[in-house]
Structure 1
Amino acid sequence: MRISEVSARSGVPASTLRYYEAEGLLPAARAENGYREYEPTALDRLAFIAQAKHLDLPLSSVRELVDAWESEPCHSVRARYRPMMSERAAQVDDRIAALAALRGTLTTAIRRLDALPDREEPCDAGCTFLDRPRAAPPALPVVPEAPVAPSPAPLACSLGSGDVEARLAEWHDALSGSERRDVPDGLRMTLPLTHLARITALAAAEQECCAFYAFRIDLHGPTFDLTITAPPDAREMLDRLVPTSEDPR
Structure 2
Amino acid sequence: MTSYRISQVAERCGLPATTLRFYEDQGLLAPRRTPSGYRLYGDETVERLKFIKAAKRVGLSLDDIREILPVWDHGGCPEVRDVLRPLIEARLADTDEHVGELRAFAAHLTRARQKLDAIAPGAGPCSSSCEFVDSEEPQLLQITDAPVGRPGPVEGGVRVACSLDGDGQAGRVEEWRRLLSETIDHVRLANGVRVSLPMHTAGRVAELAAAELQCCPFFEFSLQLGGERLHLEVRGPAEAAGLIEEYFVSP
User: Structure 2-normalised TM-score?
Assistant: 0.59
Alignment of 1:70 with 2:73, yes or no, is yes
SS of residue paired to 1:228: strand
Stretches of structure 2 lacking an aligned partner (at least 5 in a row): 138-150, 174-186, 194-206, 225-231, 244-251
Say how many residue pairs are matched.
Answer: 185
Alignment of 1:16 with 2:19, yes or no, is yes
Alignment of 1:195 with 2:201, yes or no, is no
- Kept after mapping to 2: 8 A contact 1:2/1:35: yes
Counterpart of 1:4?
Answer: 7
CA distance in 2, matches of 1:131, 1:50: 43
Larger CA deviation: 69-78 vs 10-19: 69-78
Structure with greater Cα Rg: 1
Change (3 A) 1:119 1:34: farther
CA-CA distance at 1:200 after TM superposition: 10
Superposed CA offset, 1:161-212 (max 9, x none): xx79995687735x455699xx844557xxx947345589876xx6xxxxxx
- Kept after mapping to 1: 8 A contact 2:33/2:39: yes
Q: Give the percent of matched residue pairs that are identical in Structure 1 and Structure 2.
A: 30
Counterpart of 1:43?
Answer: 46
Change (3 A) 1:215 1:96: closer
CA-CA distance at 1:74 after TM superposition: 2.5
Counterpart of 2:133?
Answer: 128
CA distance in 1, matches of 2:217, 2:33: 37
Superposed CA offset, 1:77-123 (max 9, x none): 11111111111111111111111111100111111122223469653
CA distance in 2, matches of 1:18, 1:129: 53
SS of residue paired to 2:234: strand
CA distance in 2, matches of 1:17, 1:202: 17
Change (3 A) 1:47 1:215: same
CA distance in 1, matches of 2:23, 2:111: 45
Change (3 A) 1:71 1:200: closer
Amino acid of the residue matched to residue 83 of structure 1? P
Counterpart of 2:234?
Answer: 228
Change (3 A) 1:216 1:166: closer
Counterpart of 2:93?
Answer: 90
Counterpart of 2:237?
Answer: 238
CA distance in 1, matches of 2:222, 2:14: 29
Alignment of 1:30 with 2:38, yes or no, is no
Amino acid of the residue matched to residue 112 of structure 2? A
Stretches of structure 1 lacking an aligned partner (at least 5 in a row): 133-162, 207-213, 218-225, 230-236, 245-249
Counterpart of 2:201?
Answer: none
CA distance in 2, matches of 1:106, 1:166: 28
Counterpart of 2:113?
Answer: 110
